[in-house]
Structure 1
Amino acid sequence: MCGINGFTFEDQRLIDQMNQRTAHRGPDDTGTFVADGVSLGHNRLSIIDLSPRGHQPMESADKRFVIVFNGEIYNYKDVRKELESQGSGFRSETDTEAILEGYARWGKEVLLKLNGIFALAIYDRRERELFLARDRMGVKPLYYWTGGQQLVFSSEIKAILTHDVPRRVDTDALGIYLRIGYVPAPRTMFEGIKKFPAASCATVRGDEMRIERYWAIPDEPMLSDRAEATERLRLLAEESIRSQLVSDRPVGVFLSGGLDSSAVLGVVREAMPGMVKTFSVGFKANLEEEKYNADFELARQTAKYWGTDHHELVISGKDVADALDDVVWHLDEPVANLTSAAIMLLSRESKKSVAVVLGGDGGDELFGGYPRHALSAFVSRLGFFRSFTRSRALSSRPGAERYLAFHAAREEAVSGVTSPLL
């Protein structure tokens, strides 16, 4: 990952402070651009083209555009080839430059050509216009604050807080968090600081910011033939996993023992030459005993089957407790996910031998989700449900627990799918 920072005025000291706050996101290089009414900052983790030519902020060939970019574009070579056929030249082998020169030629339409994960900002020095964009699924983080005819953005909230912005809890966001365990976009736990929406872009000129959606999930026809659907799914999954192996640094796999990460490993093992490194985390049943959970043992069996260079990390409750301060600092806002500490500790371990890891996170949601998602989708279609359940809860205290559980499921769907705030 990299870190991007910026704001719509010039201040070298402030942009340096923002870069310092996000230095952990990019240990390989740091840079700033302060001119023409804007300040941009970047912390680089080198994945593609490890040379100094990948330094950011990066200027376009004609010096008109400046970019800061966090993420990876898996099809950047195809984008680059198309640009070269139209006369564009390149000074590096980075995906960053492919985006930059693509924007210089096609404007915001370049986003539709990108297959990858990203959060980016591009400044037009001639028009004094700032362009922001985030990937289709919102994988890469991007936060922003507006006030006093200024905009501040960053990969992390803590960097925005280096500015003189109000530090007040968003009580509505707090209420949502207590119901569903996280704060859905566009809110954060900080009043006035927002999550930039996924699959969206924005233009900022002066004190005006216009956000628009550039992509929506297409309404594809359902395949009725089970065998055809199965084969198509397999091919698409393999294509997706293979495309993400584009890297000039070692790639590993987080292996939980479940279907998702095991399937990822199977494709990686067949696609990558040489030994694949896998990483698993297990938990002690208590501080005295070293009994691994079932997933840990399944991960070990899967690694043995594929013949990987397998690394295991066993952690205790004390390890998790000791890591909590760091977890909270990195997350910026609370998330009711007990695996956060384990993932952070495993990431530190894997960092010793690889720079990039693939995993199976998101597989359950991608393939239909959990029962609560089906319940939420059903409830969100009932226009009268909100007033009915509220009155019911108020009139019947013994049923409050059941209401709150059902309300949490409905609120998750409403907040994440149908809310006009999105």
Structure 2
Amino acid sequence: MCGIAGWADFERFPSREPQVLQDMTEAMACRGPDAHGCWFDEHVAFGHRRLSVIDPAGGGQPMTLEHLGRTVLAITYSGEVYNYRELRAELSALGHRFRTASDTEVVLHAYLQWGTAMARRLNGMFAFAIWDARSERLLLVRDRLGIKPLYYCPAGRGLLFGSEAKAILAHPDVAPVVDRDGLRELLAGVKTPEHAIFRGLRELRPGHLLVFDREGKRIQRYWALEAREHPDDLHTTVRTVRALLEDIVERQLVADVPLCTLLSGGLDSSVVTALAARSLAAQGAGPVRSFSVDFAGNERDFAASLVHESPDAPFAAEMARHVAAEHTNLVLGLGELAASSTRAVVPRAHDVPAALLGDAFASLYLLFRAVRERSTVALSGEAADELFGGYPWFHVPELRDADTFPWVAAGYDLLPALSGLLDPGLLADLDVEGYRAQRYAEALAEVPVLPGEDAAARRIREVGYLAVTRFVPMLLDRKDRMSMAVGLEVRVPFCDHRLVDYLFNVPWRMKFFDGKEKSLLRAAAGHLLPEPVANRKKSAYPITHDPGYDAALRAEFARLASSPGTPVHALIDGTATARLGSANGWPSRSGLEFMVQLDSWLADHDLAL
């Protein structure tokens, strides 16, 4: 998977400041525990931390391409290109010669052959930089869905970039400052494309590339969702989705290191696990290895809710038996989950506090840490709900048709949870509601239009577009940071752009043809699953229901509120401490979690607000 960092500057000479690049690269050491490397030219410097997945012996980076004894191209690359074998064969037929078996070298030669047009040929998750010495030009490219992160920051006449904000913040010319808009973005419950929390930093938008040379920077789009008529009937649509899923999972099983699946016992992860088990068996490489997470005492404490109707463990166990998986159920205890060391990992790895479901971040980190002891690559079921319509806000009219982001209407909103915890003057000054309304209007204006589409179909298209471009990125960020904190590569088959493109234009009547959530996915792959799993209702990523966890959070917040020396103290509502003893369910877990993480974040990053 890896971490990349770099610096291009036409006035300064990064090659004369090697320690700066070393610091930027080492800030992301966890992303690449297997190897590291740096490469310098007069006006550019590339750094790389490697997690070896494809061609461990030959795929070291940064990688260069020479002609007549001179370096003409260099690349620092993160991710996986799943069609690299086909591209390699095509390029070989065009006369290219390869010295490694890595996908990195294929990307380098693809640029040599097709220039920036090569981005449209890549199928995968990736973020990379190429320096073209022939034209003194830096190219940054990010995958279509934004599975792999890529930040950049103008610096004088130069440009800095990195897989994570912390790489850029390690540069001596960049101060960790969060301004009003950064705080608004943090609290709004939406991931606005291009926006980063830290002042001066930007994220390269998914499906875009950036060119930087002596004339400055230029950003180009190479992919976006488009509205088209859906020509297929239901039978053909089911068959097409099935064929796509089979091809996607088979491609994403390619690795030269141990691989597994993340199996919750829900429909999405079970489909991925079933397809992986079948493909591995056909290759004579089974059984599939799978992992799930549970919490000590969950059979006693579990309480059903709108997004957690049933506990995962029985369904995960049944699915594992069904495909004869080598299954591990990780049971997390309260002490491990509530430990201050665990809680501090989240804002440190994520570079920001978790705005919602902070314990889900922490438990995901602990799950990934356990998985990494036995596997280097894991396949996940993320994004299926957004593509196939699994969330309540696709089905409940008052949520679907609300004049805001539908997940906010459904309760994924941090603002109510912070009432009485965060200083009311600060909240009033930020006007997060106004900021969110502006971002919602901007997002709606982007949605592609299909002429003749009625209002109901148009709204479903809007909800689907918002989900893919504003909600999925938050989940992908969580997955990326928590997995890379332990050097684990997590792949997301449902984010294959071919599937996303196709499903965006499938009418709702097909996605919901039998009146059940995710009808189309069940029709395409339900035959691979045991009946209880195939018909299980949507259940979100699990959280602990142990009241001891909430008690530990309350105690930690009380400590922060009564300790003037803590970084977060000045931001706490002055009435909070007196109200903590109330028995009305206030404050909520998400509010407490955010405030505790906010303190760690402020301390770790030495932030100026």
Smaller-chain TM-score range?
0.7 to 0.9
Match of 1:341 among 362, 380, 398: 362
Alignment CA distance shift 1:214-1:298 (3 Å): same
- Secondary structure of the residue aligned to 2:368 is helix
Letter in 2 for 1:169: V
Letter in 2 for 1:301: E
- Retained in 2: the 8 A contact 1:22–1:159? yes
Distance 1:271 1:156 in 2: 34
5+ residue gaps, structure 2: 304-309, 406-430, 448-469, 471-609
Which one has more relative contact order, counting CA pairs under 8 Å at least 6 apart? 2
Distance 1:222 1:368 in 2: 17
Distance 1:139 1:415 in 2: 22
Deviation at 1:199, TM superposition (A): 0.2
5+ residue gaps, structure 1: 382-403
Deviation at 1:320, TM superposition (A): 2.4
Alignment CA distance shift 1:192-1:104 (3 Å): same
Deviation at 1:340, TM superposition (A): 1.2
Alignment CA distance shift 1:408-1:129 (3 Å): closer
Deviation at 1:318, TM superposition (A): 3.2
**Counterpart check, 1:30 vs 2:36:** yes
Alignment CA distance shift 1:414-1:259 (3 Å): farther
- Secondary structure of the residue aligned to 1:54 is coil
| Aligned pairs (5 A) from 1:268-307 | 268-272=276-280, 273-285=285-297, 294-307=311-324
The equivalent of 2:177 in structure 1 is 168
Higher mean C-alpha displacement, 18-27 vs 64-73? 18-27
- Secondary structure of the residue aligned to 2:188 is helix
**Counterpart check, 1:267 vs 2:287:** no
- Retained in 1: the 8 A contact 2:295–2:331? yes
Match of 1:360 among 381, 401, 405: 381
Distance 1:320 1:411 in 2: 37
Distance 1:296 1:411 in 2: 41
Match of 2:116 among 102, 105, 108: 108
Deviation at 1:316, TM superposition (A): 3.2
The equivalent of 2:88 in structure 1 is 80
Instruction: Give deviations 1:132-155, integer Å, cap 9, x for gaps.
Output: 000011100001111311211000
| Aligned pairs (5 A) from 1:13-412 | 13-51=19-57, 53-62=58-67, 63-163=71-171, 164-180=173-189, 182-206=190-214, 208-223=216-231, 225-272=233-280, 273-285=285-297, 294-322=311-339, 323-335=342-354, 336-338=356-358, 339-368=360-389, 370-372=391-393, 379=403
- Retained in 1: the 8 A contact 2:204–2:210? no
Instruction: Give deviations 1:190-243, integer Å, cap 9, x for gaps.
Output: 111111100000110136110010112243432462222112111111111111
Distance 1:33 1:298 in 2: 49
- Secondary structure of the residue aligned to 1:64 is strand
Distance 2:140 2:185 in 1: 27
Distance 2:233 2:392 in 1: 25
Distance 1:408 1:369 in 2: 28
Deviation at 1:419, TM superposition (A): 6.6
Deviation at 1:376, TM superposition (A): 6.6
Instruction: Give deviations 1:71-94, integer Å, cap 9, x for gaps.
Output: 000000111111111111000000
Alignment CA distance shift 1:58-1:333 (3 Å): same
The equivalent of 1:4 in structure 2 is 4
How many pairs were matched up?
Answer: 396
Deviation at 1:289, TM superposition (A): 6.1
Distance 1:367 1:95 in 2: 31
Letter in 2 for 1:174: L
The equivalent of 1:396 in structure 2 is none
- Secondary structure of the residue aligned to 1:84 is helix
Alignment CA distance shift 1:294-1:193 (3 Å): same
- Retained in 2: the 8 A contact 1:54–1:96? yes
- Retained in 1: the 8 A contact 2:32–2:49? yes
- Retained in 2: the 8 A contact 1:36–1:128? no
- Retained in 2: the 8 A contact 1:60–1:104? no
- Retained in 2: the 8 A contact 1:143–1:195? yes
Alignment CA distance shift 1:47-1:416 (3 Å): farther
- Retained in 2: the 8 A contact 1:376–1:410? no
- Secondary structure of the residue aligned to 1:361 is coil
- Retained in 2: the 8 A contact 1:73–1:115? yes
Higher mean C-alpha displacement, 220-229 vs 57-66? 220-229
Alignment CA distance shift 1:329-1:380 (3 Å): closer
After TM superposition, the score normalised by the length of structure 1 is 0.87
Q: Percent identity?
A: 35
Letter in 2 for 1:331: H
- Secondary structure of the residue aligned to 2:290 is strand
- Secondary structure of the residue aligned to 2:312 is helix
Deviation at 1:378, TM superposition (A): 7.3
- Secondary structure of the residue aligned to 1:110 is helix
Distance 2:86 2:370 in 1: 34
Deviation at 1:407, TM superposition (A): 8.0
Alignment CA distance shift 1:114-1:224 (3 Å): closer
Instruction: Give deviations 1:303-346, integer Å, cap 9, x for gaps.
Output: 11111111111113432232111111110123323321111111
Letter in 2 for 1:269: A
Distance 1:321 1:159 in 2: 28
Alignment CA distance shift 1:370-1:96 (3 Å): same
- Retained in 2: the 8 A contact 1:36–1:125? no
Alignment CA distance shift 1:418-1:174 (3 Å): farther
Distance 1:133 1:38 in 2: 17
- Retained in 2: the 8 A contact 1:59–1:67? yes
More strand by share: 1
RMSD: 2.7
Deviation at 1:251, TM superposition (A): 1.1
Letter in 2 for 1:120: F
- Retained in 1: the 8 A contact 2:8–2:158? yes
- Secondary structure of the residue aligned to 2:99 is coil
- Retained in 2: the 8 A contact 1:284–1:291? no
Distance 1:29 1:172 in 2: 37
- Retained in 2: the 8 A contact 1:67–1:122? yes
Letter in 2 for 1:2: C
- Secondary structure of the residue aligned to 1:347 is helix
Deviation at 1:372, TM superposition (A): 4.0
Letter in 1 for 2:353: P
Letter in 2 for 1:281: V
After TM superposition, the score normalised by the length of structure 2 is 0.61
- Retained in 2: the 8 A contact 1:145–1:192? yes
